[in-house]
Structure 1
Amino acid sequence: MLPPIVRLKAALNGGRPPGAHPGLPCTPADLATSAQAAVAAGAEAVHLHPRAASGAESLDAADVGAAVAAVRRACPATPIGVTTGLWITGGDAEARRRAIAGWAGLERHLRPDFASVNVSEPGFTALVGILDELGVAVEAGVWSVADADALSIAGRVPRVLVEVMGPDSDDPEAILARLDEAGVPGERLLHGEGERCWPMVALAGRLGLPTRIGLEDTLTGPDGAPVPGNAALVHLALSVWSAAAG
């Protein structure tokens, strides 16, 4: 069973290229160090994008297993999640399916505890089924009211990520309302990226929902100043969340 997140998950690296930020972790060792610092700062779970030796994002079992193993050694009690972003296989849903099905060859402790799957991407339902067989919980990425409607048909997931990516995104409260109207079960986690990142952290606090922060989402604090790494972002996000929560 996927443990609930009360306040915050740390998104350690995302799809940013190596060198995009001095503190961006890409190798398994760097991910482990960054995860440990983020958890010490108050993160309750971590989300990461495993990398190949080249630094490119990877869904291959060997790369996923190496990243998960390193982070699990550093943070043995912390739930670990990974991406399943379709862009990693160049938009090829079948190649993504094959790569993730290959995780069956990993020992259970080398598989992630959960994986994020975007509802709008082709192959969502099939991928949820594969992850269920692997014992990997699903976080459904919902970017719009239309995604919320699609998820109401697709089935149950333990966590729904309401993700606000840019200025033209649907209103997050409208998405949340549609999820409730459609009877979609599961924990809600609200977050944004770029300029929408910090407003979404504050909104999550006001609504009493968990949120996400990390170098995947932003390289700066709420005042626009650069940050040294994920632990600093966790500290700042907990402060913003708590202030908004009152």
Structure 2
Amino acid sequence: MLYLVATPIGDTTEITLRALEILKTCDVVICESTKEASKLLRAHGITGKTYETLDEHSTPDDKAALVPICAEKTVALVTDCGTPGFCDPGADLVRLCRQKNIKVKSVLGASALMGLLSLSGQRIDEFLFRGFVPAESEARAKALKDLTKEKRAIILMDTPYRLKKTLGDMKEHFSNRKFLLTLNLSQEDETILEGNIDKLISGLPYDKAEFMLLIYPA
């Protein structure tokens, strides 16, 4: 059995009772980083777990090797923060387990995506979730140019160190749109910025932060 256990995106207490019960009773925790996962579990008094790693460097053979573990044991899959299988390699393990008829269950929790939408103050009934645009310059520029044709709301995310680069990209491609930027959601230094791109850039308090960006409809 594989449980997809959502973990806090900031405050360590932002986790469900069901998630804690699964983490306490499971045989194995599959995680992106044993350091981050063990730190979270220790914060809730959970120790002595067996860990396996699944991250962006995991090979197809690495992922395949996790499938028998999920078949034979009770396994919790976690990401460093948020919901596993959403914009991370966990999706590959879910697919492999389903192909082998191994039960997969979701243990819902905190969601940066829902947090972003709820903070908009607008009814956004339709949106395009684009997630991570390519990192390579030429592919990135093409992806952003293609997105300029989209009139619906667009949601982007990227690694913390690409925060300033992403805002620079928005100035180049979406200078006529309005934005909502969330930084470090659910953490002590949570910051919400809204307005045109110049306002976001001038008001940016950090060079690096966990972020999601909502481009409002045209």
Into which bin does the TM-score normalised by the smaller protein fall?
0.3 to 0.5
Q: Which of the pair is proportionally richer in strand?
A: 2
Q: Which of the pair is proportionally richer in helix?
A: 1
Answer with 1 or 2: which has the greater Rg: 2
Query: Under a length normalisation based on structure 1, what TM-score does the superposition of the two structures give?
Result: 0.33
